[in-house]
Amino acid sequence: MSEAVKTKILVGLGACGIAAGAQKTLASLEEGLAARGLVAELGPAGCMGMCYREPLVEVRRPGQPGVVYMELTADRVPRLLDEVVRDGRRIDEWVARGEGLTGAEDSFFAKQHRIVLRNCGRLDPERIEEYLAQGGYQALGKALRTLTPAAVIEEIKLSGLRGRGGAGFPTGTKWSFAAAQKSAEKYIICNADEGDPGAFMDRSVLESDPHAVLEGMLIAGYAIGATHGYIYCRAEYPIAIKRLRIAIRQAEAGGFIGERILGTDFSFHVVIKEGAGAFVCGEETALMASIEGRRGMPRLRPPFPAVEGLWRKPTNINNVETFANVPWILQNGGAAYAALGTAKSKGTKVFALAGKVNRGGLVEVPMGATIREVVMDIGGGIRNGRRFKAVQMGGPSGGCIPAELADTPIDYESLNQTGAIMGSGGMLVLDDTTCMVDVARFFLDFTQKESCGKCTFCRVGTKRMLEILERITHGHGREGDIALLEELAATIKRGSLCGLGQTAPNPVLTTIRYFRAEYEAHIREHRCPARSCRALIAYTVLADKCTGCQVCARACPVHAISGEKKGLHSIDLARCTRCGLCFDKCRFEAIEIT
């Protein structure tokens, strides 16, 4: 048997990799291997986190550490096969990561501490054997064979793990509430209804390491005395759902899910419930209503789910990231997890780093790391050398934190003091071309549309706030609008039934708090300082820079630009739609935005 038989090639086939062309890379690898008579094990991997360098391909030659190659598009495959797979050489300029290797991408990982993402991108998520080879399901075996349910809960309490879905409630305490209930039926629910714009943490974990989430659910089920689990995952995540189904079948075949697991008296079954994409179903009582076949609308609490949840039985709900932490904690001990982070926020946190940042992707840092470290050191700073302006954290329920507060530690208490929240982990980076009034309008438009309509405060109040913000961004703001927004926000937060309405005003309140001058410029001067709001800007041609090349005129979709070839051009502002194509296409910086 030749050495090439043992060579393994993993292609990053998470949603980000597929979007970057990884399926074409995989097809090219299959064809190239066959054409060259090379034999190698070829398979999928999930997302390693370096979304900005996809497609990623890892080559593991026998007796050598794996090397990850970046931007491995289909046209690069022949060289990879010839030089790396066949000849055993390395293409240094393509290397993204490798044991003992250094490169420009190392700083992306240098300040990370990966627990939830420990296997992501490094194993085939469709093969349980690879998860087992990494110690998978050993934590479950340890719990069932050597720990009582109460001891498992105490270990989770010792870890200091708090729910990663947004609220940050202590996980061990939450489990203990459900465990204390006397009921023959109890349920575990994994909330995978990730609906925040710009958030993709849970999706990537499910696509990349589904067994870790299943193992966490199984341990939680044993701890509280549950026998059934539901994974509530939005149908817009087809890759995650596919790999979850494969993982469940494999775990059932391996004796990790089903009756008398690992020869013990513990039995547990898992069902996937596909959600229709309603943001409000991220709220736990609305989520349970959806599983039961009813419209996803929140209900009053108490009773809390731990007492009366799914099918009116005691229920524990945690999100994907929370469950993915559990096997590591059981294997390494709660104290080891608690050693990471801050006094009140233990462990690590996964963030979806997106927006105007050079290196967008998935990152996992110890609690207490600063916003600046994530954006500048891990994210590589702001694209195109623009000025760092703010980060929007926590999605529609969160808030905007200005660059002046970039040294704020990332923990629950510190972020709450800024007016934002940790949320599930979206981190949207904004630069100086971003209008903060329009950011507030965007997120409020989202929450207003996603409101289930049950509460008058949420249904009507968010609509009134949105109307005011739309007036302001269209140049029709009035004196008193800011005060009215603040008054409406306070009323909505106080009167709404669930977290959607209670947090919907946060993006508006934080942008008013930190960027009030932008609101005032829109209202009093009918001017957008970021030159972003279409109704408040104009495009003009600079006479001293226009060469008459006519590129802008050809690009204009409404023919608002006129002028002779090699002569000065002009823009008809009455016809101009402010699309910005002329500005983008001009190579001589002859178009000015005012």
Q: Are 592 and 540 in contact (CB under 8 A)?
A: yes
Which DSSP category does 111 fall into?
Answer: T
Place of tokens 């229709």: 276
Query: Phi and psi at residue 392, in whole multiples of 5°?
Result: -100, 115
Q: Which residue has the higher pLDDT, 189 or 422?
A: 189
What does the block give as tokens for 370?
A: 């600063």
* CA-to-CA separations, 28 to 16, 57, 66, 281, 320, in angstroms, rounded: 18, 12, 20, 41, 34
* Strands (E) located in 81-239: 95-98, 187-192, 228-234
CATH architecture of 538-593: 2-Layer Sandwich (3.30)
List all residues 6 or more positions away from 553 whose beta carbon is below 8 Å from its beta carbon.
Answer: 559, 561, 562, 563, 569
Give residue 2's pLDDT band: very low, low, confident or very high (50, 70, 90): very low
Give dist(CA 357, CA 278) in Å, integer: 29
H/E run at residue 512 = helix 506-524
Q: What is the sign, positive or negative, of the torsion defined by CA atoms of 535, 537, 543, 548? A: negative
> What's the pLDDT score for residue 515?
98
Give dist(CA 394, CA 502) in Å, integer: 13
At residue 483, what is the residue type? A
Contacts of range 111-114, beta carbons closer than 8 Å, 24 or more positions apart: 111/365, 111/369, 111/373, 111/377, 111/378, 112/363, 112/364, 112/365, 112/378, 113/340, 113/348, 113/364, 113/365, 113/366, 114/348, 114/364
Give dist(CA 429, CA 403) in Å, integer: 10
Q: Are 203 and 237 in contact (CB under 8 A)?
A: yes
CA neighbor of 287 nearest in space, from 269, 305, 303, 270 = 305
Average pLDDT of the residues of the chain: 94
> What's the pLDDT score for residue 4?
42
> What's the pLDDT score for residue 106?
81
Give dist(CA 248, CA 239) in Å, integer: 14
CATH architecture of 436-524: Up-down Bundle (1.20)
Summarised one tens digit per residue, pLDDT across range 373-390 is 999 999 999 999 999 999
Q: What is the mean pLDDT of residues 261-277?
A: 96
Summarised one tens digit per residue, pLDDT across range 138-154 is 999 999 999 999 999 99
Q: Are strands 228-234 and 269-275 parallel, antiparallel or unpaired?
A: parallel
> What's the pLDDT score for residue 490?
96
For residue 104, pLDDT over 70 is answered with no
> What's the pLDDT score for residue 103?
63
* CA-to-CA separations, 100 to 27, 67, 306, in angstroms, rounded: 30, 10, 48
- Relative orientation angle of helices 210-224 and 138-146, to the nearest 10 degrees: 10
All CATH 3.40.30.10 domain ranges of the chain, comma separated, are 3-109
All CATH 3.30.70.20 domain ranges of the chain, comma separated, are 538-593
pTM of the model: 0.93
CA neighbor of 14 nearest in space, from 6, 24, 5, 22 = 22
For residue 190, pLDDT over 90 is answered with yes
List all residues 6 or more positions away from 62 whose beta carbon is below 8 Å from its beta carbon.
Answer: 3, 6, 7
Secondary structure class of 233 (helix, strand, coil): strand
Number of CB atoms found within 10 A of residue 167's CB = 17
> What's the pLDDT score for residue 6?
81
Q: What is the mean pLDDT of residues 272-288?
A: 93
Secondary structure class of 555 (helix, strand, coil): helix
**Percent of the chain scoring above 90 in pLDDT:** 91
Between vectors from CA 523 to CA 530 and to CA 514, what angle results, nearest 5°? 55
At residue 241, what is the residue type? I
Summarised one tens digit per residue, pLDDT across range 105-118 is 788 999 999 999 99
Q: Are 212 and 320 in contact (CB under 8 A)?
A: no
> What's the pLDDT score for residue 480?
96
> What's the pLDDT score for residue 1?
37
Q: In degrees to the nearest 10, what's the CA dihedral of 248, 140, 305, 293?
A: 10
Q: Are 381 and 450 in contact (CB under 8 A)?
A: no
The lowest-confidence range among 162-171, 405-414, 455-464 is 162-171
> What's the pLDDT score for residue 199?
87
The lowest-confidence range among 90-94, 100-104, 164-168, 268-272 is 100-104
Q: Are 159 and 216 in contact (CB under 8 A)?
A: no
Q: Are strands 570-571 and 561-562 parallel, antiparallel or unpaired?
A: antiparallel
Summarised one tens digit per residue, pLDDT across range 50-69 is 999 999 999 999 888 899 99
> What's the pLDDT score for residue 281?
93
Q: Are strands 591-593 and 539-541 parallel, antiparallel or unpaired?
A: antiparallel
Give the N- to C-terminal CA distance of the chain in Å, as an integer. Answer: 70
CATH class for the domain made up of 348-431: alpha beta
Which DSSP category does 387 fall into?
Answer: P
* CA-to-CA separations, 98 to 66, 67, 68, 191, 378, in angstroms, rounded: 6, 5, 6, 34, 18
Q: In degrees to the nearest 10, what's the CA dihedral of 124, 348, 18, 200?
A: 130
CATH class for the domain made up of 128-338: alpha beta
All CATH 3.40.50.11540 domain ranges of the chain, comma separated, are 128-338
* Strands (E) located in 331-386: 348-355, 361-366
Query: Phi and psi at residue 11, in whole multiples of 5°?
Result: -105, 125
> What's the pLDDT score for residue 285?
95
CATH superfamily of 3-109: Glutaredoxin (3.40.30.10)
